Amino acid sequence: MAHGPAKGLTRWLYTTNHKDIGSMYLWFSFAMFLLGGVFALVIRAELFEPGLQIVEPELFNQMTTMHGLIMVFGAVMPAFVGLANWMIPMMIGAPDMALPRMNNWSFWILPFAFAMLTGTLFMDGGAPNFGWTFYAPLSTTYAPPSVTFFIFAVHIMGASSIMGSINIIATIINLRAPGMTYMKMPLFVWTWLITAYLLIAVMPVLAGVVTMMLFDIHFGTSFFDAAGGGDPVLFQHVFWFFGHPEVYIMILPAFGIVSAIIPTFARKPLFGYSSMVYATSSIAFLSFVVWAHHMFTVGMPLAGELAFMYMTMLIAVPTGVKVFNWIATMFRGSMTFETPMLFSVAFVILFSIGGFSGLMLAIAPADFQYHDTYFVVAHFHYVLVPGAIFSITAGVYYWLPKWCGNMYNETMGKTHFWLAFIGLNLTFFPMHFAGLAGMPRRIPDYNMMFADWNMLSSIGAFLFAGAQILFLYNVIATIRSNNKATAEVWENPEGLEWTVPSPAPYHTFSKPPKLS
């Protein structure tokens, strides 16, 4: 503790401290969460009732595209990296990340990537308007000029993710305190280790596919153009080879967070630790062999269709194991329901509902009716919002007292939870019905038969957004308050992070801790 942080702006620009970088990642992701949220509100405002009221179809398509890209790459992924930065060194008894300078670099290129991506909104021809899945040739031959900036931004985000993952893997493999064997690591560390490998495996694939787009657009190749001997469906295969592991990248760390929180508030050790590790690994492995279930309607041969259907159905097994383990952890515990626990319990329930609709989507013949409808929108928002967003929120409430040394306002936290919970279900549950009734996704206007569900969704969306403002206020108020937290914060929580004082000193575990 010889020296603390530098003063002023340079502290943040030059910092190699995992806690500073973790905080920057978290604040950045929250800013992106609000920005992506504003885009979502534009979409929901336009869809409040039939007819075109607020935006023209061109801008509507830009909003759906930017909402998806910003939320996936700007809000969810950096938030998990931020949590990893803060918590992994403290959880394994390491003094910092293994590669601190690269850590700084992997964060600081992100604001530039997103400034460039957001900047496309002001360009001639508008922002990318081809959906976050950017299927060719809509995203190549028929794309607005800003697509080149989008490609460059994706390259930078990919580089940041790859550097972040290398750092996390190097830290976990090399910097564990003596006695911290792999099977003693907290599950958050385990799930992040697996996530980091997924990222290293698939981010280059994403970089490859956008580079192929770049060549098609500017250098006369025809990877995705049938007229030149290419194939538009090739794009989808390559994209989803990245895209499916990517959705697990956004959920595996969430499993880790929830596996830390539920035992604390059930006052009972996590049930089936080793089966959790194996289930996570199985999910990660399966994520590489199911990508074409996003493409059941492209006209694959029957054998391919069947193989991808069976593989996809199989994912339900390890996912089910995780849910059952969490419930077994709660069973015969001594539970209290502070804000982190509320968000975690909601995670288990709502993520399961998203899992159920996922199982329905896996049935290929039924998928012909579900595909590209609001049923799919409901499905992936049920796994991503209560999955990723709720778990991140739970993690923030759980560890915030450790980060800033102050206890948050429990009443405000619970109010935030209930508003978000009601808002989320009001927004996304009706989408199941709209989709089954036949409403395609990504349309700016619709027939009156979808009007009622859409109106409910729009009301829910604004409620959910309001809840996040309360969250922001609560976090800022906590940081500035004087309501000191103890080192343990909660009742007998497990983990090395609770053995250091609150707030955690600028440098922790300069000497490795002794593990009992």
Partner 1 sequence: MLNRARSLFCPLLVAVCSTAISMQSSAEEEVERWGLNMTEGVTATSRNIYGLHMDILIWCCVIGVVVFGVMFYSMIMHRKSRGAKADNFHESTTLEIIWTVIPFAILIIMAFPATTTLKEIYDTDEADMDIVITGYQWKWKYEYLGQDVSFFSLLTTPSSEIKNETAKNPNYLLEVDEPLVIPINKKIRFLITANDVIHSWWVPALAVKKDAIPGFMNSSWTRVDVPGIYRGQCAELCGKDHGFMPIVVKAVPQAEYDEWITKRRESAAKLKAMANQTFTFDELYTKGEQVYNTACVACHQPGGVGIPPTFPAIKGSLVATGPIEGHLNMVINGSSKNPAMAAFGEQLSEVDLAAVVTYQRNAFGNNMGDSVQPIDVLKAKQ
Contact between 438 and partner 1 per CB under 8 A? yes
Using the rule CB under 8 A, is 428 a contact of partner 1? no
CA distances from residue 260 to 240, 401, 497 in whole angstroms, order as listed: 31, 15, 12
Task: Identify whether 246 is a catalytic site residue.
Answer: yes
Residue whose CB is less far from partner 1, 21 or 424 = 424
To partner 1, the closest distance from the beta carbon of 275 in angstroms equals 5
CA distances to 14, 39, 171, 491 from 411, rounded to whole Å, are 38, 30, 37, 19
- Closest CB to partner 1 among residues 401, 444: 444
Q: Would you give the binding string for partner 1 spanning residues 143-172, x where CB under 8 A is met?
A: -xx---------------------------
Residue 121: CB minimum distance to partner 1, A: 15
Give min distance, CB of 111 to partner 1, in A: 29
Q: Of 198, 250, 309, 400, which lies in the binding site for partner 1, with binding defined by CB under 8 A?
A: 309
Active site residue 259: yes
- The burial of 302, by beta-carbon neighbours within 10 Å (0-12 exposed, 13-18 middle, 19 or more buried), is given as exposed
Annotated catalytic residue within 237, 268, 441, 442? 441
Residue 161: active-site member: yes
- Please work out, in degrees rounded to the nearest 5, the angle formed at the alpha carbon of residue 241 by the alpha carbons of 239 and 245: 115
What residues contact 181, with CB distance under 8 A and at least 6 apart?
Answer: none
CB of 3 to partner 1, least distance (A): 42
Q: What's the min distance (Å) between Cβ of 455 and partner 1?
A: 11
CB burial of residue 463 (10 Å; 0-12, 13-18, 19+)? middle
Burial state string for 239-257 with b = 16 or more CB within 10 A and e = fewer than 16: bbbbbbbbbbbbbbbbbbb
Does 448 participate in binding partner 1 (rule CB under 8 A)? yes
Q: Contact between 208 and partner 1 (CB under 8 A)?
A: no
Asked if 112 touches partner 1 (CB under 8 A), the answer is no
Q: Which of residues 239-298 bind partner 1 (CB under 8 A)?
A: 266-273, 275, 297-298
- d(CA 91, CA 489) in angstroms, rounded, equals 15
Minimum CB distance to partner 1 smaller for 135 or for 288: 135
Distance in angstroms (rounded) separating the CA atoms of residues 312 and 358: 9
Per CB under 8 A, does 9 bind partner 1?
no
Q: Rounded to whole angstroms, how far apart are CA atoms 504 and 498?
A: 9
Specify the stretch interacting with partner 1 by CB under 8 A; choose among 139-147, 197-205, 384-392, 463-471: 139-147
Residue 499 binds to partner 1 (criterion: CB under 8 A): no
User: Among candidates 4, 17, 22, 90, which has minimal Cα distance to 498?
Assistant: 90
Instruction: Tell me whether residue 169 or residue 270 sits nearer to partner 1 (CB atom).
Output: 270
Full 3-state SS string of 390-437: HHHHHHHHHHHHHHHCECCCHHHHHHHHHHHHHHHHHHHHHHHHHHHC
433 in contact with partner 1 (CB under 8 A)? yes
Write out the DSSP string of 184-198: GS-HHHHHHHHHHHH
Residues 332-361 that bind partner 1 (CB under 8 A): 332-337, 345, 348-349, 352-353, 356-357, 359-360
**244 is annotated as an active-site residue:** yes
Mind telling me the catalytic residues? 67, 96, 132, 160-161, 244, 246, 248, 259, 293-294, 319, 322, 441
